[in-house]
Amino acid sequence: MKMHLMKKCLRAARINRLIQPIACALADDKPLEMDRDACMRVLEAAHPDTGRSAIWAERLPERKKSKIRLDVIVPAYNAEATLTECINSVLEQQTQYEFRLIVVDDGSTDGTLREMKELAAKDSHVRYLSFSRNFGKESAIYAGLENARGDFCVLMDADLQDPPSLLPEMYGYVKDGEYDSVATRRVTRKGEPKIRSFFARQFYKLMSRISKVDLVDGARDYRLMNRKFVNAILSMQEYNRFSKGLFGWVGFRTKWLEYENVERVAGETKWSFFKLFLYAIDGIVAFSTFPLIISAVIGVLASTLSLGYLSYVLVKKILFGDPVAGWASSVSVDLFIGGVLLFFLGVIGEYMSKIYLEIKRRPIYITRETNIDHPVLSK
């Protein structure tokens, strides 16, 4: 049989698990007269590489039974100080899972990509995908999930703040289908500036009041999800992504694990206070229309008050002939109303800008290079 024909057949065999007829055809033997081992010998002799992959394919169901397929997604931005240590500690868990590590380089300007390539060269479990520029962690999460093929996916930061040692416990909750995802939250905010913790807590309180999604205080992005959960996340192709909200929005059964905050092993957080503030605004705009309602309510209140005050001034003038006094007070009221109007114009503008960005349908990320087989390059 010609080599390219044989490769084709083997590919079909891999899909249909029809190893025997091909081996028989190769050996010019009658079907059913060759047992499995004989088939394998013929296939391996004919073409060692493809023969081996046919054997691998045949054993796939056994392998599936013994090990789960897990994709660990690690977004990394200027993380050269911590990346290798992080990846190595995930690789130590290898014995229990059959997994791939998908490291997403979010347009780093340091040696992160070089480190990824070195890790990938040393260990075939490591896959990397590098963006054309910094698109943000949300895009990196999306790219990782989109390129994952495992039955389960894990999101993990590149700075060892998400302990890989929790993986077995996390898997324990999803393996029998009792839960669809296992999420983590830190119960302490050790090592974080007090003022930042305070504002973070206020943000979670506010979000739980003004939106329908359930945001958990201290929730990390460190999370294990089954395929159903991942597909639900991927079905939401919005450009303005706020994953913490999306995870809650899709529903499913989620188990929360708590752990003490772990300080990053090296390097610095990529989130300045201002970046976090903008992130919080994104979250509110993405999951709540409450600010718009508030603007309407304040508008109605202000009109009612001003009508009341107008009636009072008119009655006073007609009955008592008092001239209108107080230029300073009317100017300050004007200015106040002007300020409120501008503020709410800004709020409406924020929603409009999101619509504008959404309708352009630009890709969530653009890939510059990768070693993933058949990657999804951008969406």
Residues that bind ligand UDP (CB under 6 A): 75-77, 79, 106, 134, 136-137, 140, 157-159, 161, 264, 269-271
Contact 102, 177 (CB under 8 A): no
If the CB atoms of residues 258 and 334 are measured against Mg ion, the closer one turns out to be: 258
**Residue 108 binds which entry of Mg ion, ligand UDP, none, CB below 5-8 Å type-dependent:** none
Examine residue 161 and tell whether it contacts Mg ion (CB under 5 A): yes
Examine residue 105 and tell whether it contacts Mg ion (CB under 5 A): no
E runs forming strands in 204-317: 219-226, 254-259
Contact 79, 108 (CB under 8 A): yes
How far apart CA 332 and CA 62 sit, in angstroms, is 78
Smallest distance, Å, CB 347 to Mg ion?
31
State the helix-helix crossing angle for 137-147 and 227-235, rounded to 10 degrees: 130
Whose tokens are 């089954």? That residue is: 226
**Residue 143 binds which entry of ligand UDP, Mg ion, none, CB below 5-8 Å type-dependent:** none
**Residue 146 binds which entry of Mg ion, ligand UDP, none, CB below 5-8 Å type-dependent:** none
If the CB atoms of residues 75 and 245 are measured against Mg ion, the closer one turns out to be: 75
Residues near 372 by Cβ (< 8 Å), separated by ≥ 6? 102, 127, 128, 129, 147
How far apart CA 359 and CA 63 sit, in angstroms, is 45
**Residue 136 binds which entry of ligand UDP, Mg ion, none, CB below 5-8 Å type-dependent:** ligand UDP
How many chain residues touch Mg ion (CB under 5 A)? 3
Contact 140, 60 (CB under 8 A): no
Contact 129, 359 (CB under 8 A): no
**Residue 109 binds which entry of ligand UDP, Mg ion, none, CB below 5-8 Å type-dependent:** none
Examine residue 157 and tell whether it contacts Mg ion (CB under 5 A): yes
Whose tokens are 């100017």? That residue is: 331
Smallest distance, Å, CB 296 to ligand UDP?
35
How far apart CA 147 and CA 378 sit, in angstroms, is 10
If the CB atoms of residues 49 and 258 are measured against ligand UDP, the closer one turns out to be: 258
Smallest distance, Å, CB 131 to ligand UDP?
9
If the CB atoms of residues 93 and 134 are measured against ligand UDP, the closer one turns out to be: 134
If the CB atoms of residues 46 and 79 are measured against ligand UDP, the closer one turns out to be: 79
Q: Which residues bind Mg ion (CB under 5 A)?
A: 157, 159, 161
